[in-house]
Structure 1
Amino acid sequence: MYYPIKGGSSLVVGDESWGQYRVHLPPVPPKHLILFSDLPKIDQKWTRTGLPDFWEERYLEESDIRDKERDLVENALLDKVTHCDIVLNRFRIQEFIRRMWGVWFMNNGVPTFLDRHHYFYLQWSKYDHEENNGYPFYYNFSRKAFYFRQWCEQNPLSLGYMVIGPRGTGKSSEELACITNNMTLRHNKKAALQSKSFEGDSQKILFNEKLVPLFNNLPPFFKPVNNHGTNPATKLNFFRDPKKGAMAKKVKFGPEYELSTTIRPVGPGEGELDGATEAEILEDEIGKTHPNLQADIYKRHTKNVRSVFRNHRKIGLLRKTSTVEEMDEGGDECLALWDDSDNSPEKLDGNGMTVSKIHRYFFSALDTDTSPEVCDDYGNVDREKAENKIDNERAAIKHDLKKLSSSMRKSPKTVEEAFIKDQSKSIFNVFLLTKRLTELHKMRKPPYVRGNLYWVDDKENGTVGFERDDYAGRFYWAWFPDEFSGKKEPKDWKILNNVGKEQGYNRKGDSVIQPVPMNDHLFAIASDPIKFSKTKDPRASKAAAHGFRKFDTLVDYNKPKEEWLSHNFIFEYIERPDDPETYFDDMGMACFFLGTSILPETNIKSLVQHFESKGWERFLLYRRDFPDIDVGSQDDSGFSSVPEVIDNYTRRLISFINRHVMRMPFERTLQSWLDFDPANTTKYDATVSSGFTLIAQEFKAERDDGNYEQDINDWFDTYRRDGAASILINEDDE
């Protein structure tokens, strides 16, 4: 389904907010080859057919002859069993074709394709669905997920996938059906089943309670020769029984006689499969595996990748499933893996693979409610009815925020809900933040553009321009003044690059001409620098900065807050450039571009030192500019992240989130707010930077209008009154 099929069609599965995949379907066959096409439209739906009526009698006769031949084989008097009933064999061939290539069926008048694994799951995988004699039902959401699985199997640039979704949707059972379908066809392969524990999960639930009954209930022609018995405890072993003595020399072995394949449960450890070569690895409950008590699933993933990718070739597949429970008990690691499985073009590496080497899929609770009042006989779920049920359930616990967040993770409508933080473990409103993230992810285009700032004509301390770069832009910019798009030449801008020059004194006491910001009444910038030294985890710390547009009474006076255009963040910068000078110059250009000052976090002095060395001291905000924050020397620029300062910006962030978060355009900062821990701010550069920005925007700038020549014509329309009628005076007429 990864490669186009001649004469076939294609469709997109997934969602724009987390990933889309184009899958290719075979051409629709003639009507007589489409199951249930001979029925009235209302009766056209998936129905398991089972073994034909003639099967039992003919199979007993066939088995009697084959048993005699098998005895001869075991005594080395015959190479292999050859007898088969032609009628039965026709049915067997039909089923092998369907389990290997899939089948079409008519669903309420619509030809619908079941891929190979989905057919095997519905037709031959017996579990615990009592109302359907143990076999699963057909659902449309499940069909699309099976398409995605097959897409990953066939894609040479995908080493597997992770599936996240609500509880009780059959994710684990579907994965076991896929593995069983593959492993009962392949020679000399190994498959491993991992979960959050060995005895209670991998062995007991996945292997003993699900996989073994599934295998035992397969029709005999799907069961390879095996020596594991009827109730295996440790593995399915598709080998012939060993022979001893002189007869052993006459017994032939090889792919024509046995598969030499195994499926077994293994422990949850990070190095459990290190060095092993596996055709299939199922990692169940990855969002519930405690990183300290059981395994860090991200670290385990990096090792398991090597088990299915050998000598620069894909030789196996990773299958991962879960519902997320507590974020600090496996959810955070699961989220990190989810983020690194993003298949957006700009997130792929130079080889076309995701960072994690796998892809991702999400089941929404809006699509997986299979109750009769929500799901019809054809497997289609009414999303509106499903949402009403979910909202009603949540309304009953809306005052218990811990229960509410837990309920969201167990039955998530969106990816953001699947990984929502516990409100009891966050100082910010996780529901408002999650709602805003969901809105942003649903947008067809992000509410910002990426790009870089540059000195026009390479003249430092001069005019700054902006160049869009959707792939490597370090700045995410959400708002520009109207003049930015109306006047193409930076020299024609009046708001941007509004930098004056004044006589002043540098740190050495020398009298010099210094650039001076003229837009402190309009904008604010703050930044959280980093040490550009080696780090074991390059994701741990990045330089962050934010730009803010202060409240503009001319634009937003007397408007409701949700309609404000000002009093919001306008750019985001979260980067770790290879060269520290790149970051320093980016901050300087941002100040010149907006014509405004910057408030630096000064645990690390490098940014302040750079500005002073460039003669940009007048662009630095000082502690004396914020009299309500009384820490350290008032003559120093910026603030250190001491408890008093952290408390100050945290209170400002809480206020902003509660009142204005629905206008916040930047997902990375929103995610940082969700994760923020005030007791350990090191990892949350975006939160520190944005918090400092909210402090900076309270700086009361004294605007000097001495450089502006204005008269009454700038404020009111004026008219000539020397004729019979008044005539408007335009600037061009003067």
Structure 2
Amino acid sequence: MYEQSLYSVVEDHIKPKVIKRLNRLNKWEYGYNKEHDIVVISKTGKIGEIYNIQNLLVALPLAEDVYKCSDKKEEQRWSVLDYPKELNKVKNVYEWNEKPLSFKEKYYDYINKEFVRREEGFWYYNKGIPTYITGSHYMYLQWTKIDVGHADFRESNRLFYIFWEACKSDSRSYGMCYLKNRRSGFSFMASSDTVNQATISRDSRFGILSKSGADAKKMFTDKVVPISINYPFFFKPIQDGMERPKTELSYKVPSKRLTRNSIKETDQDIQEGLDTTIDWKNTGDNSYDGEKLKLLVHDESGKWERPDNILNNWRVTKTTLRLGRRIVGKCMMGSTSNALDKGGENFKKLYDASDVNKRNRNGQTSSGLYSLFVPMEWNYEGYIDSYGLPVFDTPKKPIKGIDGDEIDIGVISHWENEVEGLKDDQDGLNEYYRQFPRTEKHAFRDEAKESLFNLTRIYQQIDYNEGINNRANVVQGSFVW
């Protein structure tokens, strides 16, 4: 029976009567609470459960007004909420302004509710359990267009977004360093939150970096821009330039020539723009040097090969996120790791320097980031049930997956079968470990041919030791030679 260790619900960290008293007064403020050593992500003034996600204590909002799609427990799961057809026909704010007042009044409450969910998050019943998703996660699930249409709900992504919200709210944090497995959806999630934040931020700049300039550009043109285009009109600010730009997405009022008529425009005719941009840069140690960013997305950061160095770049880009001692921007960094000699070693150093248990006297980690590792069994395609929960163990009878297919074997058994099939191909096995790691050690496995030592033998012994860990007793004593 698999026992997960990604997160736990903390009991009695704060006395219940203290929580109840402050909830009654709406006194819990969004951000780091030094008195209780928790990060509050609630924006309602009330907190409920406290999660321990890899040693970071995160206080969730109190469960109120929980949405229920069905009274039957087995039918309660995430699904995209209906968008009124009449409202869907409105493509921009200009069309909305031309609608009669009677039309607008029908949808004021709907639009306002969507803004509240975007800001505060969303509670719903999932298989009978009240489940919280952050506002950013709600925007990803409800309003973000990805390559397959709408994203699926996954419990692993729920925890990812809760951790990310904690990084954003914590005044000590520069963001996150996410160690992931392949096909985890990070690029789309990062693109989604880029657009989500940019479309409500004034006078701000958002940047994208990847393992190459071509990859950063592809993320911008294939993910960020389509997400922005497909937002509903009430979330879509005025945009300058091309509808599908190649280098910069600008939420500004389009410039126009001054004429006698334009000068006579009344105040009611004057349009307001956000003066906010999203762009990408070519990969390099000094990318974004000297600039000020509200969000930096660092995709594929574990794959920066020479002469580029992710450590050098982070030393530079870290300064773009602060003004003096005050952190004014955040970094969302995520990647699988290359072999150590191909960028993995520098990424490992950065990841290790982001341990929330190791802080300096300013309360920050060495890198300023917070590390998060989600084991592959939480987020492996084909092994997630219709409720978005991972199928760790082989079920007694097949379970319907989120993709509609039946799951008749647990993800742990599947992974072990793949590993067994690669036992005679050490480099292939190490690559599989890096792509689909169950531990941090797996994620940073090196290529056997790149070491002076016989890594094949060393890793074989490590795998053997890990395999017997739960089946054999440990014997203590003295070696006799």
Q: 2:479 aligns with which of 548, 555, 567?
A: 567
- Structure of greater Rg: 1
Structure 2 match to 1:40: 72
Are the structure 2 counterparts of residues 51 and 160 from structure 1 closer, same or farther at C-alpha, using a change threshold of 3 Å? same
TM-score by length of 2: 0.81
Structure 1 match to 2:285: 270
Structure 2 match to 1:215: 228
Deviation at 1:382, TM superposition (A): 1.9
Deviation at 1:381, TM superposition (A): 0.5
Q: Are 2:355 and 1:349 equivalent residues in the alignment?
A: no
Deviations 1:579-629 (A, max 9, x none): xxxxxxxxxxxxxxxxxxxxxxxxxxxxxxxxxxxxxxxxxxxxxxxxxxx
Q: Name the aligned partner's letter for residue 413 of structure 2.
A: N
Q: Are 2:40 and 1:10 equivalent residues in the alignment?
A: no
Are the structure 2 counterparts of residues 250 and 281 from structure 1 closer, same or farther at C-alpha, using a change threshold of 3 Å? farther
Q: Are 2:340 and 1:340 equivalent residues in the alignment?
A: no
Q: What secondary structure, in the 3-state scheme, does the structure 2 residue paired with 1:85 have?
A: helix
Q: 1:431 aligns with which of 420, 443, 459?
A: 459
Q: Note if contact 2:240-2:254 (Cα within 8 Å) is conserved in structure 1.
A: yes
Q: Distance in 1 between matches of 2:431 and 2:252?
A: 46
Structure 2 match to 1:27: 62
* Structure 2: runs of 5 or more not aligned: 1-29, 31-38, 394-409
Are the structure 2 counterparts of residues 52 and 301 from structure 1 closer, same or farther at C-alpha, using a change threshold of 3 Å? same
Q: 1:358 aligns with which of 340, 363, 369?
A: 369
Are the structure 2 counterparts of residues 62 and 423 from structure 1 closer, same or farther at C-alpha, using a change threshold of 3 Å? closer
Q: Distance in 2 between matches of 1:119 and 1:65?
A: 24
Structure 2 match to 1:173: 188
Deviation at 1:56, TM superposition (A): 4.5
Q: Distance in 2 between matches of 1:117 and 1:303?
A: 27
Q: Name the aligned partner's letter for residue 216 of structure 1.
A: I
218-227 vs 19-28, greater mean Cα deviation: 19-28
Q: What secondary structure, in the 3-state scheme, does the structure 1 residue paired with 2:85 have?
A: coil
CA RMSD of aligned residues (A): 3.0
Are the structure 2 counterparts of residues 7 and 188 from structure 1 closer, same or farther at C-alpha, using a change threshold of 3 Å? closer
Q: Note if contact 1:420-1:434 (Cα within 8 Å) is conserved in structure 2.
A: no
Deviation at 1:390, TM superposition (A): 0.8
Structure 1 match to 2:385: 376
Structure 2 match to 1:481: none
Q: Distance in 2 between matches of 1:68 and 1:93?
A: 18
> Higher relative contact order at CA 8 Å, sep ≥6: structure 1 or structure 2?
2
Q: 2:217 aligns with which of 203, 219, 224?
A: 203
Q: Distance in 1 between matches of 2:263 and 2:250?
A: 22
Q: Note if contact 2:51-2:60 (Cα within 8 Å) is conserved in structure 1.
A: no
Q: What secondary structure, in the 3-state scheme, does the structure 1 residue paired with 2:202 have?
A: coil
Q: Are 2:139 and 1:120 equivalent residues in the alignment?
A: yes
Structure 2 match to 1:98: 117
Q: Note if contact 1:417-1:434 (Cα within 8 Å) is conserved in structure 2.
A: no
Q: Note if contact 1:13-1:144 (Cα within 8 Å) is conserved in structure 2.
A: no
Deviation at 1:13, TM superposition (A): 4.2
Number of aligned positions between the proteins: 419
Deviations 1:89-133 (A, max 9, x none): 22211111111111101101111111110000000011112xxxx
Q: What secondary structure, in the 3-state scheme, does the structure 2 residue paired with 1:193 have?
A: strand
Q: Distance in 2 between matches of 1:102 and 1:156?
A: 20
Q: 2:244 aligns with which of 221, 226, 231?
A: 231
Are the structure 2 counterparts of residues 253 and 147 from structure 1 closer, same or farther at C-alpha, using a change threshold of 3 Å? farther
Are the structure 2 counterparts of residues 324 and 4 from structure 1 closer, same or farther at C-alpha, using a change threshold of 3 Å? closer
Deviation at 1:3, TM superposition (A): 2.1
Q: 2:301 aligns with which of 286, 309, 314?
A: 286
Q: Distance in 1 between matches of 2:317 and 2:414?
A: 39
Q: Name the aligned partner's letter for residue 412 of structure 1.
A: P
Q: Are 2:330 and 1:314 equivalent residues in the alignment?
A: no
Deviations 1:458-515 (A, max 9, x none): xxxxxxxxxxxxxxxxxxxxxxxxxxxxxxxxxxxxxxxxxxxxxxxxxxxxxxxxxx
Q: Distance in 1 between matches of 2:291 and 2:418?
A: 46
Q: Distance in 2 between matches of 1:306 and 1:61?
A: 37
Q: Name the aligned partner's letter for residue 332 of structure 2.
A: R
Are the structure 2 counterparts of residues 166 and 56 from structure 1 closer, same or farther at C-alpha, using a change threshold of 3 Å? closer
Q: Distance in 2 between matches of 1:438 and 1:190?
A: 46
Q: Name the aligned partner's letter for residue 162 of structure 1.
A: C
Deviation at 1:21, TM superposition (A): 1.6
Structure 2 match to 1:395: 420
Deviation at 1:173, TM superposition (A): 0.9
Q: Name the aligned partner's letter for residue 47 of structure 2.
A: G
Q: Note if contact 2:350-2:367 (Cα within 8 Å) is conserved in structure 1.
A: yes
Structure 1 match to 2:258: 245
Q: 2:156 aligns with which of 113, 138, 141?
A: 141
Q: Name the aligned partner's letter for residue 459 of structure 2.
A: F
Q: What secondary structure, in the 3-state scheme, does the structure 2 residue paired with 1:299 have?
A: helix
Deviation at 1:217, TM superposition (A): 1.1
1:718-733 alignment, distance < 5 Å: none
Deviations 1:34-76 (A, max 9, x none): 222543111110000241234246x48995572599xxxxxxx
Q: Distance in 2 between matches of 1:253 and 1:150?
A: 37
Q: Distance in 2 between matches of 1:351 and 1:316?
A: 18
Are the structure 2 counterparts of residues 254 and 41 from structure 1 closer, same or farther at C-alpha, using a change threshold of 3 Å? same
Q: Note if contact 2:123-2:133 (Cα within 8 Å) is conserved in structure 1.
A: yes
Q: Are 2:339 and 1:296 equivalent residues in the alignment?
A: no
Deviation at 1:300, TM superposition (A): 0.5
Deviation at 1:325, TM superposition (A): 2.4
Deviation at 1:301, TM superposition (A): 0.4
Q: What secondary structure, in the 3-state scheme, does the structure 1 residue paired with 2:58 have?
A: strand
Deviation at 1:272, TM superposition (A): 1.3
* Structure 1: runs of 5 or more not aligned: 70-81, 444-559, 569-697, 699-734
TM-score by length of 1: 0.54
Q: Distance in 1 between matches of 2:269 and 2:374?
A: 42
Q: Note if contact 1:370-1:381 (Cα within 8 Å) is conserved in structure 2.
A: no
Deviation at 1:563, TM superposition (A): 2.5
Deviations 1:137-165 (A, max 9, x none): 00111101100000000000001111111
Are the structure 2 counterparts of residues 176 and 399 from structure 1 closer, same or farther at C-alpha, using a change threshold of 3 Å? same
Q: Name the aligned partner's letter for residue 299 of structure 1.
A: N
Deviation at 1:291, TM superposition (A): 3.1
Q: Name the aligned partner's letter for residue 371 of structure 2.
A: R
Structure 2 match to 1:66: 97
Q: Name the aligned partner's letter for residue 479 of structure 2.
A: H
Are the structure 2 counterparts of residues 430 and 84 from structure 1 closer, same or farther at C-alpha, using a change threshold of 3 Å? farther
Are the structure 2 counterparts of residues 255 and 83 from structure 1 closer, same or farther at C-alpha, using a change threshold of 3 Å? farther
Deviation at 1:8, TM superposition (A): 2.3
Deviation at 1:249, TM superposition (A): 4.2
Are the structure 2 counterparts of residues 564 and 322 from structure 1 closer, same or farther at C-alpha, using a change threshold of 3 Å? same
Structure 2 match to 1:52: 84
Are the structure 2 counterparts of residues 253 and 435 from structure 1 closer, same or farther at C-alpha, using a change threshold of 3 Å? farther
Deviation at 1:228, TM superposition (A): 2.7
